[in-house]
Structure 1
Amino acid sequence: MRIGLRTIKTAVGAAIAILLAYYLHLQYWPTAGIITVLSVQNTTKASFRLVFFRIISTAIAFLIAVVSFRLLGYNAIAFGIFLLLFIPVADLFSLQDGIVLSAVLVTVFLIERSTSLYWLMNQTLLMVVGAGVAIIANLFMPNLEDRISTYQDSVEQSMQQILQLMSQQLQTPAAGDEREALIQESWENMSDLKIALNDGMAWTARHNENQLLSENDYYKAYFEMRNNQYELLRQMQTSIERIDNPLIQGREIAILLQATAENISASNAAEDLVSDVEALQEKFESSDLPKNRAEFEVRAQLYYLLSNFHQFLRLKNTFYTIVASQN
């Protein structure tokens, strides 16, 4: 059995909330613990948002409850009317998360047959104590940067392997099992890459939700850049599969792909590689026209491959220039 950090925070926080409510001489003091249990979230910002909306929800609930009970008496019908009015209002202002908790707090008015200032203050303080302890508990969050770094490593490893496989494909005859094996392995790595990207982006979003006073978009920008590169890699792989007989330009691209694989890390600006690809594009444009249809089709795919490859490197260069250099 594994006891996670959220479970520990919830248990300790609930106990502290109950003790605080008890020593503050609040009536129905165990309620503060329940409020804490319902308010501890997976991220710091989520906890703040939830507590904020629940405070608004409680204020609206108390206002409707006071009117309902004082007009209709402290009975089940009045409580039903209260819910009939409160739930649609909460839905209207997107306060659904506070409906149950607010209704529970209002039941004390029914039990005590009073909506006096004393009971309004008592229930409000229960909310403040329970929610306040939950917020404090959610300030203690694990550092997710190490976990995110593992996904960065996984992404870069998969990209390195894909680029190396692409380089090999461009230097392997189209006919034969070797080329097919390289293509299959490339797509398998592409699948692993997408999984690592999705997981990395999910953990990055969670990490950002725990940052209250500081904003650091590095990881978000990193995985967005890599995700865009992933889409380009898919197009590049498709182009390579359509090239039956690579020309001399194909071997030149293969060399650049291998060089990129060796410099895939985010700390590399890839400026030299961008220049090399641009030089190769100019060489393509100034070379002799294709001699036949087959060569034309190969040249077209190679040029499309090179264009996507250029964009692949430009994304990395832009990321390094704008984002990485600021961190």
Structure 2
Amino acid sequence: MIFGKKRFPGAVADFEKAVRAQDGDAAQEAFARLHRAAAKAGDGELREAGPRLATLLPSVPHGPRAAVAVVIGACVERGADVSACAPGILAGARETFALAADFCARWADTGGGELPDPDDELTEEIIERAGYEPAVGWFTLPQWEMASVAVLNDPAVRRESAGTAELLALVERVAEASDHEFRCLAYALRVLDDEPLVVLHRDTGTGYALRMSGIGDNFQLHTLLAGVLIGGKHLPGQAPSPQEIAVCRDAPGQVETVGSFNLVGPDGTWIFNEGTPTDIPVIDGARLLVLDPPPYRRAWPAGRFFPGMRGDLVLDRVLDAAETAAWFAKVQPAKR
């Protein structure tokens, strides 16, 4: 730890100086030292370094910029001011995914074929075929995905950052053109906060108004629903254990759980656990979900898709009979 504390702040200062002087060789050398020392740096050093590096990000060339973004993301995970770090990272991600979309189009226009793996080496042949900046964009996507998810763990960033819808559209565009999912970033950009959710339980004819925040996928939502509704004695069944609920909110790790419901949309189609809460349709200002009996036993490790993101599901109120009937009027029978 002493090694990191001696080396890291100096490497940050040297990197700042080199970037501002546009001295590429010195910046490369300083960043290599910075990257090595970061692993042993203390939390306080990383908290201080994150915003300083974020200020430099637009001045760093496209290739190394992604590696700097990853370090900034690591600083955020250790407590750096996310509001200062997120704008540069998300702007860089938007620019990079736009370049990657151009890369996919150029690749198709120059003969097509299987796209190179972004984790492989960028070669001169690829640059000649698609252009330098589009190729660098394509090959740095995994790093930008990692850095972006680090800042999107914060609910204020998800609520307040401009351009997240644009970034999601670009991610989906590149995914469609390339058959690479970029699932972590796509799911992080789809996370809902303080989102109204109306849940109808078909067998008992009851309804519930809830709000969900920070839920990464429907496995997590499923477990939390069972905890709130079965654990709260509103519905019959076997409630998840306190530990199963805890790991879906903010506790570390995973715990084996068993499904309590079949999640169904108002049109009768299944809402799969592998998807996200954005798969639940919005009807009259709220997402509307129907709970049916599980068609077969389903088990999975309860936990959070994003370990650094706190999930929450709260019951606002139990709907009265008239409200419940009005919502059920919008629902079709379940489809097989």
TM (normalized to structure 2)? 0.26
Structure of greater relative contact order (alpha carbons < 8 Å, 6+ residues apart)? 1
Higher strand share: 2
Higher helix share: 1
Larger radius of gyration: 1
